[in-house]
Structure 1
Amino acid sequence: MTADAETRIVDAARMWIGTPYCHQASCRGAGTDCLGLVRGVWRDLYGREPEAPPPYTPDWAETPGEEVLRETMADGARRHLDEISIEDGRAGDVVLFRMRARGPAKHAAILSGADRMIHAYSGRAVVETTLTAWWRAKLAYAFRFPELED
């Protein structure tokens, strides 16, 4: 990914900052959840979304086997983004978090710098925060957006 592409992705994600949290939504300024943020940035960069996610619960900590989105978030990302190693993640990349050791990877963010991320979480809004050691310990996957056209 070029530096220009990284900048375009991070700039698109920053446009969502302040959007209130709303489960299963993806409307900049009105409401979004973490997956909705990634979906919205995709639309901002590429136009139409390649697929719609299935309905999913807002709980980060489902027990294995009970969640429709269980690994669908990672599987969907693999269909449309390029999977990379977590260690190779850089600004503009999408990361997924597993909130429990054997739970689903259900929280998404877009990296905005070496130790920064943009994400939405329940009860808050889209924010840019530090990727702390607590968050790093929960990293499960990393993905890169496909090449952007000029």
Structure 2
Amino acid sequence: MSERFGEQVVAVARGFIGTPYRHQGSLKGVGCDCLGLVRGVWRELYGVEPETPAPYAPDWAERTGEERLLDAAMRHCGPALPLAALRPGDLLVFRWRDGVAAKHAGIAAPDDRFIHAYEQAAVIESPLIACWRRRIAGVFRFPEHC
């Protein structure tokens, strides 16, 4: 991904800041969850989503243990990159703790920050501090052309 395309991804994601948190939502200004943020950004970048996710409960990862989020990221963005390769505009997938499926996503922003939909809040930009960094399960790069 070129630096310019990464800047475009960040600009689109920042356009969602302030959107209320809504489980399974993906609409800017209306409501979205973390996956919905990624889906909404994808739609703005490419015109259509690569797939429509099946309905999911808030505790889907704890109940099934399936790596649905990581698997989808690999299907559409390619293999995970090393954390050292992280650049603004990259997709971040987080795992809350060892032994459970990854279930949170965000988009890397400049200055060690990331944009994500935070439950009980909204889409926000947060510092990518140590407690977030250690939970990163995968770094993925949006394809420049889709």
Same fold (TM over 0.5): yes
Matched, 1:28 2:28: yes
What amino acid is the match of 1:71? E
Paired with 1:91 and 1:55, the residues of 2 have a C-alpha distance of 30
2:16 is matched with which residue?
Answer: 16
TM-aligned CA deviation for residue 59 of structure 1: 3.3
The SS at the match of 2:64 is coil
Map of 1:80 onto structure 2: 76
Q: Which residue of 1 aligns with 2:41?
A: 41
**CA distance 1:21–1:119, shift in 2 (3 Å):** same
**TM-score after normalising by structure 1:** 0.91
Aligned residue for 1:140, secondary structure, equals strand
Shift in CA distance, 60/50, structure 1 to aligned 2, threshold 3 Å? closer
Matches within 5 A, 1:1-150: 1-59=1-59, 62=62, 66-67=63-64, 70-83=66-79, 84-148=81-145
On the 8 A contact 1:71/1:105 being kept in 2, the answer is yes
Residue identity opposite 2:73 in structure 1: A
2:103 match: secondary structure: strand
Distance 1:103 1:60 in 2: 10
Distance in 2 between the 1:11 and 1:67 partners?
34
What RMSD over aligned residues (CA atoms) do the two structures have, in Å?
A: 1.6
Which amino acid is the alignment partner of residue 12 of structure 1?
V
Identify, as 1 or 2, the structure richer in strand. 1
- The answer for unaligned runs of 5 or more in structure 2 is none
CA distance in 2, matches of 1:61, 1:42: 23
Q: Distance in 1 between matches of 2:84 and 2:100?
A: 21
Runs of at least 5 residues in structure 1 that lack an aligned partner in the other structure: none
CA distance in 2, matches of 1:4, 1:107: 26
CA contact (8 A) 1:45 1:148 kept: no
Tell me the CA shift for residue 114 of structure 1: 4.2
TM-score, normalised with respect to structure 2: 0.93
State the identity %.
51
Name segments (4+ residues, structure 1) moved above 4 Å: none
